Structure formats: structure tokens, C-alpha cells
Amino acid sequence: MEYHMNSYIKKNILNFIFVFLFALVVVISYYLDFKPIIQITEENFLDFISEMFSFLPLLFILIGLFDVWVPKEIVTKNFGNDSGIKGVILAILLAMVQAGPLYASFPVAYILWKKGGSIRNIYIYIGAFSSFKIPLLTFEISFLGFKFSMLRSIFSIPIFIIIGIIMEKLLKNNNFEVKDVR
């Protein structure tokens, strides 16, 4: 156990230094009454942290359940290299029914990759998550109109598909290792 912890600390020492320096700058800023850092800390950082802690635990529970309950064969069949247009449509639909900030898509993308999803469909999923979520679309329609939202969506979908295809061609020869993060 101790060896594993020491190895982890050595591997992530730069991250620990960064967090320590950030905390040090914040403490010094409060001590010196440096308003820009205080304002950033109170208005942005604390809001972001509270949002993450309210959102991420539920997300990780759902990801864990997905990891345990959904067999790899189902993901490979529906999101894998041979899924074709069905995989593209499912990636977009999966992205549409989810909610939350963009960083919430990365654990789902990781699980899809771990269970055999194709690079193409994972990039399409992340792109669709960034702009086709149902709550986002309803908000957009209410402010910009139905016609604008549909035109934007019609032009965006092919772009995400092209990006997915390009990324698949660029990354297909890389042998990514799926590491267990536990």
C-alpha cells in the first residue's frame, strides 16, 4: 500500500505542486487584500467547485452502474468500429438525452472507449454533447428561434461526423491502453 501511494505521488508531483501554488497564491491574495484574485476565487472558482461536487458524485454513480450493467459486447456492437450509421445516430442520441457541463461527457466517453466504442463515435458523442443536449436546444429555441436552431444543428452534425472520421484516421494506428483508474 505504501509503495503504491509513493508511486502515485511521484507520478503526480507536478499536479500537487500546482495545487499547492494555487492555494498559496489565494492565501497570500487574501492576506494582501489583492482584489482580482479574491474576486476570481469567490465568484468563479468556488461556484465551479460547488457545481462539480453537486454534479459529479451522481455522474460517477451512473457511470459505475453503466460500467457494471452494460456488457462490452453491446457497446462494441452499437458504438464500435463496425456500427456504421447506427453508431453515429446512437452517439448523437446518447449525447442529446444527457445534461450537464462538457466535462461530464468525458467519463462517459472513457467508458465507451473502455467497452469497445470507436474513436469516431466517441468524438461524435463529445461534439454532440457540446451542442445538441435537449435542455440546451430548448433554451436556444426559446431565445433564437426554431429555424435558427434547426439550421445550426443541420450544419453542425456533418461537421462532428467529419471530425470523428478524421480523428479515427489520425488515431487508429495508436494502441491506446485502457488503464483501470482504480
Q: How many domains does the chain have?
A: 2
Domain presence at residue 148: yes
Are 9 and 40 within one domain? yes
Q: Which of 56, 83, 100 is the last residue of a domain?
A: 56
Are 138 and 77 within one domain? yes
Residues 57-69 pLDDT 10s:
888 888 889 889 9
pLDDT computed for residue 146 by the predictor = 94
Are 77 and 143 within one domain? yes
pTM score, two decimals? 0.75
pLDDT computed for residue 178 by the predictor = 57
Contacts of 58 (CB under 8 A, 6+ apart): none
Residue-range definition of the domain harbouring residue 78: 70-171
Are 114 and 161 within one domain? yes
Residues 69-95 pLDDT 10s:
989 999 999 999 999 999 999 999 999
Domain presence at residue 179: no
Mean pLDDT to the nearest integer, 91-101: 90
Highest mean pLDDT among 3-12, 57-66, 148-157: 148-157
Which class for 83: exposed (0-12), middle (13-18), buried (19 or more C-beta within 10 A)? buried
Mean pLDDT to the nearest integer, 133-161: 93
174: left (phi over 0), alpha (psi -120 to 50) or beta: beta
